Amino acid sequence: EAIIHMRDLVKQYKMGDNVVTALDHVTFTVEKGDFVAIVGPSGSGKSTLMNMIGCLDKPDQGEYILEGHTVNTLKDVQLAKIRNENIGFIFQNFNLLGRLTAVENVELPLIYRGMKAKERRECALRSLEQVGIVDRANHYPNQLSGGQQQRVAIARALAGTPPILLADEPTGALDSKTSQEIMDVLIQLNNEDHTIILITHDRDVAQKAKRMIMISDGRLTETEGTQHESVHI
Ligand code: ADP
Ligand code: ADP
């Protein structure tokens, strides 16, 4: 069952007389439970594609269907609603609020949903537990290592139970051992049926996903197989 379907998506940036085609007729589908890595060098269109998938920007042409909603024609207000309901974002630099504890950071998306304080706390603690960092619930971000902060950020992305996790260079600020640990967390979440889209310039990181899609000059090509070892029978 497709959770994302993009067809012939085009995004251009106009700079004076110059036009940059950042996405050049992009077509792809993500199934529920998939773990897709989109890999490409700097300037290949990764950020632009992430902005499209995450409903942060709209294409100039083409169709984008997310969880049955045709989002390419939506107004910004509706787009924001669809984004909040469907996408949990994970960033390179974690984007945690420094004046809030780990558990308070994870509660943020739940406040926007109008959840009551007690339920919110329980829900946030469950998310922290799920990614193995509940013992640091009351620490502030600057008391945590990079890998621990990224776990908190993943817990925050999970807290609102969005159908899709969208991770933009989640290991970009981490050393290779910590990167591996964070990829293991994502693999575990995928094995628990979360749909994950990972954007990276690092082929070794991309190899951990189930599928790898290369992006180059705004065009996608799917590669054969990855190292993903999870067994689903
Ligand atoms: P990546 O994330 O892979 O580095 P981007 O999506 O940021 O690639 O960029 C794709 C192309 O679009 C590049 O040529 C980039 O310079 C151009 N681009 C991206 N954003 C803008 C913008 N806001 N204005 C003009 N050009 C842009
Ligand atoms: P990333 O490290 O995520 O690939 P980028 O360097 O591609 O980030 O882009 C960072 C921001 O700058 C994005 O919002 C992108 O749209 C914008 N941007 C990228 N290239 C250009 C450009 N040539 N002109 C203007 N804005 C750009």
Ligand 2 centre to CA of 28 (Å) is: 23
Instruction: State the ligand closest to the CA atom of 15.
Output: 1
Instruction: State the ligand closest to the CA atom of 44.
Output: 1
Residue whose CA is at the smallest distance from ligand 1 atom 5: 45
Ligand 1 centre to CA of 135 (Å) is: 40
- Report the relative pairing of strands 61-66 and 2-15 from DSSP bridges: antiparallel
Q: Which residues contact 138 (CB under 8 A, 6 or more apart)?
A: 101, 102, 103
Q: C-alpha 163: how far from its chain's center?
A: 11
Is the beta carbon of 42 within 6 A of some atom in ligand 1? yes
Q: Which two tokens stand for residue 2?
A: 């497709």
Q: Crossing angle for the helix pair 102-112 and 146-159, nearest 10 degrees?
A: 20
Q: Which two tokens stand for residue 94?
A: 């974690």
Ligand 1 centre to CA of 45 (Å) is: 6
What is d(CA 26, CA 44) in angstroms, rounded to the nearest whole number?
A: 12
- State pTM to two decimals: 0.88
Is the beta carbon of 72 within 6 A of some atom in ligand 1? no
Q: Crossing angle for the helix pair 117-130 and 146-159, nearest 10 degrees?
A: 130
Q: Give the per-residue pLDDT at 133.
A: 97
Q: Which of 47, 199, 203 to mutate to test the pocket of ligand 1 (most atoms within 8 A of CB)?
A: 47
Ligand 2 centre to CA of 112 (Å) is: 29
Ligand 1 centre to CA of 12 (Å) is: 9
Residues flanking ligand 2, CB < 6 Å: 46-47
Is the beta carbon of 112 within 6 A of some atom in ligand 1? no
Q: What is the DSSP string of 103-154?
A: HHHHHHHHHHTT--HHHHHHHHHHHHHHTT-GGGTT--GGGS-HHHHHHHHH
pLDDT tens string for the chain (233 positions)? 899 999 999 999 998 999 999 999 999 999 999 999 999 999 999 999 999 999 999 999 999 999 999 999 999 999 999 999 999 999 999 999 999 999 999 999 998 888 999 999 999 999 999 999 999 999 999 999 999 999 999 999 999 999 999 999 999 999 999 999 999 999 999 999 999 999 999 999 999 999 999 999 999 988 866 766 554 44
C-alpha distances out from residue 195 to 99, 103, 131, 229, Å = 31, 24, 16, 16
Is the beta carbon of 127 within 6 A of some atom in ligand 1? no
Q: What is the DSSP string of 173-222?
A: TS-HHHHHHHHHHHHHHHHTT-EEEEEES-HHHHTTSSEEEEEETTEEEE
Ligand 2 centre to CA of 128 (Å) is: 32
Q: Cα-flanking dihedrals φ and ψ of residue 183, to 5°?
A: -65, -35
If DSSP states are collapsed to H, E and C, what string results for 117-131? HHHHHHHHHHHHHHC
Q: C-alpha 119: how far from its chain's center?
A: 25
